[in-house]
Structure 1
Amino acid sequence: MPRVSVIIPTYNCARYLGQAIESVLNQTYAAKYVELIVVNDGSTDDTDEVIRPYRSRMTYITQPNRGISGGRNGGVKVATGDYVAFLDADDYWLPERLALMLKRAVASPDCMVMTDVFVLNERSGELETQGNCEAKGLTPLFDLNARDQYVAALKANFLNYMIMVPRDVFARVGLFDKSLTFGDDWDFELRCLEAGMPVRLVPEPLAVYRLYRPGATTTRPDVSMAASRLRILEKHRTSVSAARWKTALGLRDSLLFQQALQGRKFFFATQIAVKLATNRAYGRHLLRQRALARRLRVSAAADAAYR
């Protein structure tokens, strides 16, 4: 049976970490073939106390804070499994996830494998009853070849970070980019696709992804996030459409504009506003977003009236 290394990077996530660890240790796949690696990326909370009961059943690494990419890379460097899978400390898996992913991996050699996920809204406490990929109509994308998936993922990222890959892929495409503060998983997956490694889907939702967790980077859009997105697209500039590129520039400049206003840097804000006014692609993006927001408000009002 193939061995799999599961890497959980964690930074000040003690509140959720135990559930993530338990979800790996309770997999139906034979425990002797599962190597759990937890990377404490400079946490200052009670992470060590949470880890203590599980120390004999895992590899535990502590390191200075290097960000999510540094945590993932720290785990990859010591992993010994045939495959490597990733789980963030605030998410968790359902018991059959590894078994079904490995079954698909054996049937589809030299592929990335992921499963559909349930989304747990931390603000409302509601857990979706339908898989995220199914709900968004993304399932057909996973039957495409690597090149077509690469083009699709550059247009709009349809992947999640919870992939499983053959361990030797890191020797081929490199580790996670530590210079990125956001989207290091997207960047890594794009490199895998560019190298000819497609991603295949186990359609069952077999993981739970927390949305809007307090302190999570994805709930705090900022200039560094927009800059990371732009840097990723720049790596693949020859494959990115002009409109997509200009929209990414507009998103970054919009955040810079907000930051300049908040800092009362009005001359700088005026310069950015001029750039935004001439960015037609970003203007079309804003119009689409506003139209979508209006449709959602109308739909919500209709639902409320019906109730």
Structure 2
Amino acid sequence: MPMSSTHPTFSVIIATYNGAATLSRAVDSVLAQSYKNFEIIVVDDGSTDDTPAVIRRYGAKVRYHHQSNSGVSNARNTGAKLARGEWLAFLDVDDWYYPHRLAWHARLLQRQPDLDFLIGDYDYGRANGEVMRRAIDSSGFGAMVLASADEHDTAIVDLDDMAQFIPSYFGHTSTFSVPRRTFLRLGGYAESFSIGEDLHLLIRACARSRSVGIVCKPMAFYCVHDAGLMRSDTVSAQVRNVETLLSLKHELEQAPAPVKRGFLKALMNARFDLAVALIRNRKRLRAIASFLPALADNASLHSFRMLLSVMKG
């Protein structure tokens, strides 16, 4: 199917596992979009709760697919295979879209149809809707992007920016839009990882991209949960995050230089986060050992300073 720059079509994929309590809120946020050229696909990853009953209430407004429990990445990939839209968009079952999320990406594509993929800012907050902070404010690169935004509150990242864009990534699954054919060519989300799979896909997409569109205002709401793995078992989560990134090392040997630099910075940051988690668990020697490989990959004054910080605890 040829890509349409006039009225791009979106397939919004919601993967859920026992998410009946928040599923309606997620689906309703998509149905309330000001841009209407979309379909909704809910992939039920083996739920045992009332998910089927919740979806039945929507009738033909939602396409529903049930599968045995295979993990969120597999569920998203299944949705992509079922999709009919030119562009894929994703939404976690406990998060929600803001009303113009699809419209803003559609308008950006109408102005610049050659973009390889698109992301956007989003709000962090509690399940009651309380906003804690904006994602784009979390990095110096985000501030640079905001400063360069045009009259439409959009900005473009090109290949030379990838060295900063990748380690400072402030997007999220809910604000990521990618051509279906690109997603399938990349193999979708890596199903062998449950931590960092979104950054894993983003880096692979960057390695094949020349320009990325960014909407510099919140497009969605991300619910922060204290019981999540990244918060409840920080060391284990950070170990798995490093493992996820390490799996890309060989694949990126032939990637453009800015992408390789960005990847190595992201890996260094992940190693540092692991070292910090280990120090907080009073495992300083293991923390130092976990960070040392970063010096071989990315020797610089900054990486040595990070090592000194780890050694000081």
> Structure 2 length as normaliser, TM-score?
0.74
Tell me the residue number matched to 1:133: 136
Higher mean Cα deviation, 37-46 or 241-250?
241-250
The size of the alignment, in residue pairs, is 277
Q: In 2 relative to 1, CA 200–218 (structure 1 residues): closer, same or farther, beyond 3 Å?
A: farther
Q: Is the 8 A contact 2:245 2:267 kept in 1?
A: no
**Corresponding position: 1:24 with 2:30:** yes
Q: Is the 8 A contact 1:8 1:87 kept in 2?
A: yes
Q: Is the 8 A contact 1:173 1:195 kept in 2?
A: no
**Corresponding position: 1:48 with 2:52:** yes
CA–CA distance in structure 2, aligned partners of residues 120 and 183 of structure 1? 20
The Cα of 1:254 is off from its aligned counterpart by 7.6
Tell me the residue number matched to 2:245: 232
CA–CA distance in structure 2, aligned partners of residues 80 and 39 of structure 1? 15
Deviations 1:45-79 (A, max 9, x none): 22222222113211101112222211110100100
The Cα of 1:173 is off from its aligned counterpart by 2.2
What's the secondary structure of 1:105's corresponding residue? helix
CA–CA distance in structure 1, aligned partners of residues 143 and 63 of structure 2? 35
CA–CA distance in structure 1, aligned partners of residues 184 and 165 of structure 2? 22
Tell me the residue number matched to 1:275: 289
What's the secondary structure of 1:37's corresponding residue? strand
CA–CA distance in structure 1, aligned partners of residues 231 and 287 of structure 2? 25
Q: Is the 8 A contact 1:159 1:186 kept in 2?
A: no
Q: In 2 relative to 1, CA 139–284 (structure 1 residues): closer, same or farther, beyond 3 Å?
A: closer
Q: Is the 8 A contact 2:238 2:270 kept in 1?
A: no
Q: Is the 8 A contact 2:96 2:220 kept in 1?
A: yes
Residue identity opposite 2:34 in structure 1: T
Tell me the residue number matched to 1:264: none
The Cα of 1:243 is off from its aligned counterpart by 7.6
**Corresponding position: 1:143 with 2:152:** no
Q: Is the 8 A contact 1:247 1:285 kept in 2?
A: no
Q: In 2 relative to 1, CA 87–278 (structure 1 residues): closer, same or farther, beyond 3 Å?
A: closer
**Corresponding position: 1:161 with 2:173:** yes
Q: 1:157-306 maps to which residues of 2 (within 5 A)?
A: 157-162=169-174, 163-212=176-225, 214=227, 216-220=228-232, 221-223=234-236, 225-236=238-249, 238=253, 239=260, 245=267, 248-249=270-271, 272=286, 275=289, 284=306, 287=309
**Corresponding position: 1:114 with 2:151:** no
CA–CA distance in structure 1, aligned partners of residues 208 and 178 of structure 2? 13
Tell me the residue number matched to 2:75: 71
Q: Determine which of 3, 9, 15 is the counterpart of 1:3.
A: 9
Residue identity opposite 1:198 in structure 2: S
CA–CA distance in structure 1, aligned partners of residues 139 and 269 of structure 2? 22
Q: Is the 8 A contact 1:116 1:205 kept in 2?
A: yes
CA–CA distance in structure 1, aligned partners of residues 31 and 277 of structure 2? 42
Identity %: 29
Residue identity opposite 2:206 in structure 1: L
Q: Is the 8 A contact 2:10 2:87 kept in 1?
A: yes
Q: Is the 8 A contact 1:7 1:37 kept in 2?
A: yes
Deviations 1:82-122 (A, max 9, x none): 11111111110111211111111222223322232122134
Q: In 2 relative to 1, CA 272–126 (structure 1 residues): closer, same or farther, beyond 3 Å?
A: same
CA–CA distance in structure 2, aligned partners of residues 234 and 200 of structure 1? 27
Q: Is the 8 A contact 1:247 1:282 kept in 2?
A: no
Q: Is the 8 A contact 2:33 2:101 kept in 1?
A: yes
> Structure 1 length as normaliser, TM-score?
0.75
Q: Which has the higher helix share?
A: 1
Higher mean Cα deviation, 46-55 or 19-28?
46-55
For structure 2, which runs of at least 5 residues remain unmatched after alignment? 1-6, 146-154, 254-259, 296-302
CA–CA distance in structure 2, aligned partners of residues 100 and 202 of structure 1? 7
What's the secondary structure of 1:45's corresponding residue? coil
CA–CA distance in structure 1, aligned partners of residues 311 and 60 of structure 2? 50
What's the secondary structure of 1:76's corresponding residue? helix
Residue identity opposite 1:26 in structure 2: A
CA–CA distance in structure 1, aligned partners of residues 20 and 93 of structure 2? 8
CA–CA distance in structure 1, aligned partners of residues 188 and 47 of structure 2? 22
Q: In 2 relative to 1, CA 222–13 (structure 1 residues): closer, same or farther, beyond 3 Å?
A: farther
CA–CA distance in structure 1, aligned partners of residues 138 and 270 of structure 2? 26
Give the greater-gyration-radius structure (CA): 1
CA–CA distance in structure 1, aligned partners of residues 27 and 107 of structure 2? 22
What's the secondary structure of 1:208's corresponding residue? strand
CA–CA distance in structure 2, aligned partners of residues 166 and 277 of structure 1? 36
